[in-house]
């Protein structure tokens, strides 16, 4: 019987890293007690990023070297989904240009939504005909001058789960569900209501989790001393080490929580830590992943020789290395909608998205699918009935041609400081795709000048927000290649 487990993995961390010292400097007049949390930096999504765009990037990374036609289903775990009643994972499916026959599911409502989604995917893998793409992404809105503002971070992770040549074999799982309320957020609340930290630590993070660990280790029949990597996605200092000591897991097995350079990425953090562990692991290592939130999930995996055969990817290490230091706390507050600014008359545009045109052109808008003439090989965006080739205006000869994964180079660039833009200036220009195809497009993640000839990669981002109707519009942008 074929092994069940993880076939591939990937992650995404936004490039901008807000310095915690900048957060503290702005709030120390009111909350001087935050000084102890003011070290390091936290990853923050740009104004055009959210849980959907980060899930797309994590999915792209996880599918490096994988034929996307083989993916049979996907799930997206998040407590910060942009839509309460629209299939968020369905939009991710469109952006990843997966088959229309793919089943999609949103998973939410708990800080262990990510580990629960992965647990279910692993347990169901043997009964599925095709691999399942398990995604998690989180971009929480945190109250200024709160602990969470400093300890949180934005990130996404993706794990392809199935049978066959797995990089990590599934050994078992154990769960404990109890309505332990350490925090909550109702639909009408902008921020989490968090209870007293010491009580959460002693009764929840330590007592409740230690119980689940002892029961789970016994049920799984594993020697705690044999666990090589112990993943505890809890930002509170010392919790992981305390749990390891209570359950007989070696102190050296306790994994870095990534708090210094990323922050805690909510329900996605356990999967982000798992990706980081798989990047560093050698074959034959046992990994125990924990998820906490109104109970506990435990997932036990063992790495295999297939790790060495996996195609190179960005992963957590690459994403963290690509960070850009940011000390502009006010800009972050504006982009999160926590501070109103006078946008001026130039921002008064109707951003209504007609449902009919989005439906007809969803492959182009969501998946950046252009056209290639089957007779001349001419590539164009958007796809049309008549080729743009001036020497051969053939009709109805184009096939779908996805452009999102094709490198491009800058042909022209403009920095516009007159038009309204959430993060001025607005950079845009014409790009030329390798192998053919050109388009004028907005640039993202610009740090400094963009020069003609610069290599670019396509990224799925928020294009605009219809504030009248509450709709988020997405499209692709060009960003400097990493």
Peptide bond into 382 cis (omega under 30): yes
> Given this model, what pLDDT does residue 349 score?
82
> Given this model, what pLDDT does residue 353 score?
84
Q: Which is it for strands 229-231 and 286-292: parallel, antiparallel or unpaired?
A: parallel
* b/e sequence 32-66, b meaning 16+ C-beta within 10 Å: eebeebbebbbbbbbbbbbbbbbbbbbbbbbbbeb
In the chain, the N- to C-terminal Cα span, in Å, equals 40
What is the topology classification, in CATH, of domain 345-368+403-480? OB fold (Dihydrolipoamide Acetyltransferase, E2P) (2.40.50)
The answer to whether 160 and 337 are in contact (CB under 8 A) is: no
> Given this model, what pLDDT does residue 180 score?
95
pTM of the predicted structure, to 2 decimals: 0.96
* DSSP secondary structure code for residue 312 in this structure: P
Q: What gap in Å lies between CA 44 and CA 14, rounded to an integer?
A: 6
> Given this model, what pLDDT does residue 198 score?
93
Q: Is 141 exposed, middle or buried (0-12, 13-18, 19+ CB in 10 A)?
A: middle
> Given this model, what pLDDT does residue 352 score?
84
- Domains of the chain: which residue ranges? 4-335, 345-368+403-480
The H-assigned helical ranges of 16-129 are 20-27, 51-62, 88-95, 113-124
Residue carrying the six token digits 């994994």 = 255
Q: What gap in Å lies between CA 142 and CA 161, rounded to an integer?
A: 32
Tens digit of pLDDT per residue, the chain (482 long)?
Answer: 689 999 999 999 999 999 999 999 999 999 999 999 999 999 999 999 999 999 999 999 999 999 999 999 999 999 999 999 999 999 999 999 999 999 999 999 999 999 999 999 999 999 999 999 999 999 999 999 999 999 999 999 999 999 999 999 999 999 999 999 999 999 989 999 999 999 999 999 999 999 999 999 999 999 999 999 999 999 999 999 999 999 999 999 999 999 999 999 999 999 999 999 999 999 999 999 999 999 999 999 999 999 999 999 999 999 999 999 999 999 999 999 999 998 888 887 888 888 898 899 999 999 999 999 999 999 999 999 999 998 888 899 999 999 999 999 999 999 999 989 999 999 999 999 999 999 999 999 998 889 999 999 999 999 999 888 889 999 999 999 97
> Given this model, what pLDDT does residue 355 score?
87
The answer to whether 294 and 112 are in contact (CB under 8 A) is: yes
Q: What gap in Å lies between CA 257 and CA 125, rounded to an integer?
A: 28
> Given this model, what pLDDT does residue 371 score?
96
DSSP reduced 3-state for 201: helix
What is the topology classification, in CATH, of domain 4-335? Peroxisomal Thiolase; Chain A, domain 1 (3.40.47)
* DSSP secondary structure code for residue 65 in this structure: T
> Given this model, what pLDDT does residue 1 score?
63
Residue carrying the six token digits 């989490």 = 192
> Given this model, what pLDDT does residue 170 score?
98
Residues 6+ apart with CB under 8 A from 59: 10, 74, 92, 96, 133, 135, 158
């Amino acid at each position: 019987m074929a092994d069940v487990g993880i076939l591939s993995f990937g992650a995404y961390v936004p490039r901008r890293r807000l310095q915690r010292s900048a957060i503290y400097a702005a709030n120390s007049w009111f909350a001087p007690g935050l000084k102890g949390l003011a070290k390091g930096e936290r990853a923050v999504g740009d104004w055009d990023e959210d849980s959907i765009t980060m899930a797309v990037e994590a999915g792209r990374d996880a599918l490096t070297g994988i034929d996307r036609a083989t993916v049979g289903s996907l799930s997206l775990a998040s407590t910060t989904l942009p839509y309460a009643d629209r299939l968020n994972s369905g939009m991710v499916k469109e952006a990843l240009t997966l088959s229309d026959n793919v089943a999609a599911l949103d998973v939410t409502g708990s800080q262990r939504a990510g580990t629960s989604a992965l647990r279910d995917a692993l347990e169901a893998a043997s009964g599925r005909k095709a691999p399942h793409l398990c995604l998690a992404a989180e971009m929480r809105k945190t109250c200024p001058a709160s602990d969470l503002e400093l300890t949180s971070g934005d990130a996404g992770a993706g794990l392809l789960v199935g049978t066959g040549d797995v990089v990590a074999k599934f050994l078992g799982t154990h769960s404990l569900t109890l309505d332990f309320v350490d925090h909550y957020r109702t639909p009408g609340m902008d921020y989490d209501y968090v209870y007293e930290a010491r009580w959460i630590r002693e009764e929840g993070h330590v007592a409740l989790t230690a119980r689940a660990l002892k029961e789970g280790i016994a049920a799984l029949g594993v020697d705690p001393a044999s666990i090589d990597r112990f993943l505890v996605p809890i930002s509170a200092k010392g919790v992981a080490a305390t749990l390891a000591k209570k359950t007989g897991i070696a102190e050296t097995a306790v994994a870095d929580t990534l708090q210094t350079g990323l922050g805690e990425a909510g329900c996605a953090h356990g999967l982000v830590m798992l990706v980081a562990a798989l990047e560093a692991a050698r074959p034959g290592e046992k990994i125990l992943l924990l998820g906490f939130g109104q109970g506990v999930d435990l997932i036990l995996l063992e790495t295999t020789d297939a790790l060495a055969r996996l195609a190179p990817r960005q992963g957590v290490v690459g994403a963290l290395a690509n960070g850009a230091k940011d000390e502009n706390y006010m800009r972050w507050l504006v982009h999160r909608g926590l501070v109103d600014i006078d946008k001026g008359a130039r921002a008064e545009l109707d951003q209504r998205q007609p449902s009919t045109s989005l439906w007809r052109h969803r492959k182009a808008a969501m998946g950046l699918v252009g056209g290639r003439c089957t007779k001349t090989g001419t590539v164009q965006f958007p796809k049309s009935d008549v080729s743009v080739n001036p020497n051969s205006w053939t009709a109805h000869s184009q096939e779908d041609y996805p452009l999102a994964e094709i490198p491009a180079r800058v042909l022209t660039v403009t920095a516009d400081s007159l038009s309204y833009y959430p993060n001025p200036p607005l950079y845009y220009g014409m790009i030329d795709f390798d192998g053919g195809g050109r388009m004028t497009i907005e640039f993202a993640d610009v740090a400094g000048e963009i020069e003609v000839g610069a290599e670019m990669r396509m990224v799925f981002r928020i294009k605009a927000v219809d504030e009248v109707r509450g709709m988020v519009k997405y499209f692709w942008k060009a960003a400097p290649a990493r």
